[in-house]
A and B are shown apart, each in its own frame.
Chain A
């Protein structure tokens, strides 16, 4: 039975990674029509560097992800501190209201944002996408940053510390590790975000996932595979970094 379990897990992992491996390999296949048998070539890497708007879209993605990370991490960590430290009326409600943005399908969230932004005159484009990404990343930041906030402030105050002193000397120094984890998370969420960007993008300003989607819908050559591979590896690296940082899985390991 135990052996069967391991075989099954390995099969599941093959299922999860096989298409990704094929996608990466096809980026190095010579045929523009994805024809097999496989013929190794790096022509698509060279061609990718020539496609300016693809490179530009990648740059836009990174810029939005960086700004989103800074804003969402600051706002989200402050919210997490407030939610964990203070008893105030409506706290339970506020905490519950964090979940819908994560759980409701992005399609609904983003069409609602589009209608709202258009109606209120915010419009579409870079600033609209940025608002959307920040709004989406904040709940994740609050949840991730909140995991590691412990209530030592009361302990400090019971030992004679003033509230302000306790905040600056006890709570604040404890924040950076959880903030780094939350920031990595926010960056990954923003970098991979497609649906919200898709509805809020303008023809002149897109992000990488939106650009990839429009290529897939119309016509594409394996250079799309190369850029997809880069994006995929970037987000995997971010998540692994996050896992290392937050000692993911270590606490659950009982055996």
Chain B
């Protein structure tokens, strides 16, 4: 499909341009013998002279020559060709891809911020509520879902937030005839699912940072008439900062490449870099394009790790 689009100079992102492709492709359709689905099929058909000319991947073609002795050659058409570097160009030249990247970024930032606020508060409550022995129980309860299947946890939210789901049923019980609050298939649903999945990270990193704070510092501050918010703001948050940064990095990185949460909770609204990569691999079978976007995402991830490596290393040593 992309080839006739490019050949006729159409816009790949405009559905209206598909008609031009149809009128152009239909006359040449009888020339098309087969759409191969495996390397073996291609080799056998080519060896049996089923078709005169065909396209195949670069890896299988090398094997066709080496193992089968088939006359396969690497040819660049005189009209030009799309090389692997062009796949990167596609990403940077398409406004649509920038929009998708922006959505992914917004979702990741919102998720990270919500996790930071609520995760920090949870870590604070864990360390400063005088829980004693029950603290370990609370910590295990918070961390336990993290080690269960993420897919199932995302799936379970669909039953809570869909229209007529558990949340609606609960509201109707209190207020019969209430309008539906269901928000499945929105970007808020994606953020909710992601916060649910990743908040244990933030609780853990903040908890580790906060539990190293000596109680004597707080007592000293209180003895010196430090106000309550000075203690909270200046001492606790500053001292928990390494935990907050480490947790944020550990959450932002997987979330910016998430694909199953947007797919399941976002529905049509759930287009992110992750789903575009997944789609290129599993539906469009445009592996080079998927790999290119995947590699761009990887470079972003590595850049984030490089920037925060100092904080992460210090945190790992505690």
Known A8-B125, A103-B250, A108-B257; judge A236-B159 contact (CB<8 A). no
| Residue A174 at the chain B interface, CB threshold 8 Å | no
Known A23-B152, A212-B151; judge A217-B263 contact (CB<8 A). yes
* Chain A residues positioned under 8 Å from B97 (CB to CB): none
A: contact size bracket: 35 or more
Q: Which of A57-80 contact B (CB under 8 A)?
A: none
* Chain A residues positioned under 8 Å from B59 (CB to CB): 118-121
Q: Which of A19, A107, A118, A240 contacts B153 (CB 8 A)?
A: A19
| Residue A13 at the chain B interface, CB threshold 8 Å | yes
| Residue A183 at the chain B interface, CB threshold 8 Å | no
Assembly CA distance A119 to B288 (angstroms): 12
* Chain B residues positioned under 8 Å from A253 (CB to CB): 133, 135-136
Do A5 and B125 touch (CB < 8 A)? yes
| Residue B138 at the chain A interface, CB threshold 8 Å | yes
Q: Which of A13-70 contact B (CB under 8 A)?
A: 13, 15-20, 22-23, 26, 34-37
* Chain B residues positioned under 8 Å from A108 (CB to CB): 257, 294, 297-298, 301
* Chain B residues positioned under 8 Å from A171 (CB to CB): none
Known A253-B133, A253-B136, A255-B130; judge A20-B153 contact (CB<8 A). yes
| Residue B191 at the chain A interface, CB threshold 8 Å | no
Known A8-B125, A36-B164, A217-B263; judge A105-B297 contact (CB<8 A). yes
| Residue B18 at the chain A interface, CB threshold 8 Å | no
Known A232-B149, A236-B148, A239-B144; judge A103-B260 contact (CB<8 A). no
Assembly CA distance A13 to B133 (angstroms): 17
* Chain B residues positioned under 8 Å from A238 (CB to CB): 147
CB distance from A148 to the nearest CB of B (A): 17
Do B144 and A105 touch (CB < 8 A)? no
Do A13 and B253 touch (CB < 8 A)? no
If over half of B's interface residues share one DSSP class (helix, strand or loop), that class is named, otherwise mixed; here it is helix
Q: Which of A9, A192, A209 contacts B138 (CB 8 A)?
A: A9
Query: Which of B131, B135, B138, B149 has most chain A Cβ within 10 Å?
Result: B149
| Residue A218 at the chain B interface, CB threshold 8 Å | no
CB distance from B271 to the nearest CB of A (A): 15
* Chain B residues positioned under 8 Å from A16 (CB to CB): 141-142, 145, 196, 199-200
| Residue B243 at the chain A interface, CB threshold 8 Å | no
* Chain B residues positioned under 8 Å from A232 (CB to CB): 148-149, 152
Over the window 199-231 of chain B, the binary record of Cβ atoms lying under 8 Å from chain A Cβ atoms (1 yes, 0 no) is 110000000000100000000000000000000
Q: Which of A13, A107, A188, A249 contacts B294 (CB 8 A)?
A: A107
| Residue B126 at the chain A interface, CB threshold 8 Å | yes
Known A18-B160, A105-B254, A228-B155; judge A8-B274 contact (CB<8 A). no
CB distance from B316 to the nearest CB of A (A): 9
| Residue B63 at the chain A interface, CB threshold 8 Å | yes
Over the window 204-223 of chain A, the binary record of Cβ atoms lying under 8 Å from chain B Cβ atoms (1 yes, 0 no) is 00000100110011000000
Do A107 and B130 touch (CB < 8 A)? no
| Residue A12 at the chain B interface, CB threshold 8 Å | yes
* Chain A residues positioned under 8 Å from B190 (CB to CB): none
| Residue A112 at the chain B interface, CB threshold 8 Å | yes
Closest to A233 in B: B148
* Chain A residues positioned under 8 Å from B211 (CB to CB): 252, 254
* Chain A residues positioned under 8 Å from B51 (CB to CB): none
Do A104 and B298 touch (CB < 8 A)? yes
CB distance from A4 to the nearest CB of B (A): 8
CB distance from A36 to the nearest CB of B (A): 4
| Residue A155 at the chain B interface, CB threshold 8 Å | no
| Residue A194 at the chain B interface, CB threshold 8 Å | yes
* Chain A residues positioned under 8 Å from B140 (CB to CB): 240, 243, 248-249
Do A107 and B259 touch (CB < 8 A)? yes
* Chain A residues positioned under 8 Å from B290 (CB to CB): 111
| Residue A142 at the chain B interface, CB threshold 8 Å | no
Do B128 and A5 touch (CB < 8 A)? yes
Assembly CA distance A194 to B164 (angstroms): 29
* Chain B residues positioned under 8 Å from A188 (CB to CB): 147
25 contacts between A and B (CB under 8 A): A2-B128, A2-B130, A5-B125, A13-B138, A16-B200, A19-B157, A20-B148, A20-B153, A20-B156, A22-B159, A23-B152, A23-B156, A36-B165, A37-B169, A105-B254, A107-B294, A108-B297, A194-B149, A194-B151, A224-B155, A231-B149, A232-B148, A232-B152, A239-B144, A253-B133
Chain B residues proximal to chain A, CB less than 8 Å: 59, 63, 118, 121-122, 124-126, 128-133, 135-136, 138-142, 144-145, 147-153, 155-160, 162, 164-166, 169, 196, 199-200, 211, 250, 253-254, 256-260, 263-264, 274, 277-278, 281-282, 287, 290-291, 294, 297-298, 301, 305
* Contacts A16-B141, A19-B157, A255-B131 known; 14 new A-B pairs at CB < 8 A: A12-B122, A15-B196, A19-B153, A36-B164, A104-B253, A104-B298, A107-B297, A192-B148, A224-B155, A231-B152, A243-B140, A249-B140, A254-B211, A255-B135
